[in-house]
Amino acid sequence: MSAPIRKPVDPAAAPIPAEAPRAPTEAEWAAMSPAQRQQAIAALVDSMSQEEIDERLAMADGDPHFDAKVEARDALRAWFGRRGRRVYVGADMKAHYPGEKGFTPDVIAVTDVDPTPRLCWMVSAEGKGIDLAIEVHYAGNWRKDFVDNVVRYATLGIREYFIYDIPRGHLKAHRLPPTGVRRYESIPSRAGRYRSEVLDLDLAVEAGRLRFYADTAELVTASELVGKLEGMIEAAEARIEQEQARAEQAVGQLSAAILMVLNARGVPASEEARGRILRETDGGRPGTLAPARGDRGGGGGAVPGVDRPLTEAGPGAPGSA
């Protein structure tokens, strides 16, 4: 990648700080009044240091990166929302740990908290840190995702850390050991899937996308669900059209069979009756069948005095004299 773009400096404006600010320590937070705490949060949200500008520019990896993290966030939010489970899921949500500079994972999940929208994740205000982080790597800083964050997130106590490597179609999974040591261990793969104890779900990369599974059921986003429902409707409509076509074909075959039976038994039918029958035949036309015995002149008309409704028995018909 090219070197980070520096924000143009306005000579009349205050100089941009080089480093990002740090969140208040636990002791500083405890000594603050509610109003002071709100001011501290607002200052962190509005902060614009050169370090933070560079971080945001480094995160601009285009559609593949953006789509992957938004799909993951939406799938998880929909899943936990339908089950009424209190899990906050955010994307590009800046996290502030006591005494630390803020950082912005691509996706975060925090269990047993109010899932309502937030401006940032302030650990001191929330009362707990992040339980799971997902980074989507596409064309950014490989070392940040695969080396630096592995150490940083473990040190902060983030229980699970997943890295979705888009170019390689690969998933790297980490979890803190139950011993309390803040050093990640690799989560083993089971048939290409990685278990998240935090989410109680399996993660996998399939068909070039990060997917989540509850047992064998795949989690889908709202847009994917709408697409599947539309596909089901289209398939049902196609089946209805096919059934209608088959029914019309069966009626046509039956109509032709009736005329053939009448013709074979020498039962004349009037032009009107033949027309009624043939109109039920797809593409049928009067005169396509051989004339009945007793027809004269090859005109297809019935013999005078013999023509009668189709419900009456004609010569040669069963039960006729």
Where residue 1 falls among pLDDT bands split at 50, 70, 90? very low
Of 6-10, 209-213, 285-289, least confident by mean pLDDT is 285-289
With contact defined as beta carbons under 8 Å apart, do 132 and 109 qualify? Answer: yes
The greatest distance separating any two alpha carbons of the chain, rounded to the nearest whole angstrom, comes to 118
Residue with tokens 């990060």: 210
Token reading at 145: 């995702």
Query: Which helix (DSSP H) or strand (DSSP E) does residue 88 occupy?
Result: strand 87-91
With contact defined as beta carbons under 8 Å apart, do 174 and 150 qualify? Answer: yes
Token reading at 82: 């339908």
Residue with tokens 């997943």: 162
Phi, psi dihedrals of residue 59, rounded to the nearest 5°: -80, -10
pLDDT digits (tens, 9 = 90+) for 56-87: 887 777 899 999 999 999 999 999 999 999 99
Q: What is the mean pLDDT of the chain?
A: 83
| 188/204 Cα distance (integer angstroms) | 12
Where residue 297 falls among pLDDT bands split at 50, 70, 90? very low
DSSP, res 9: P
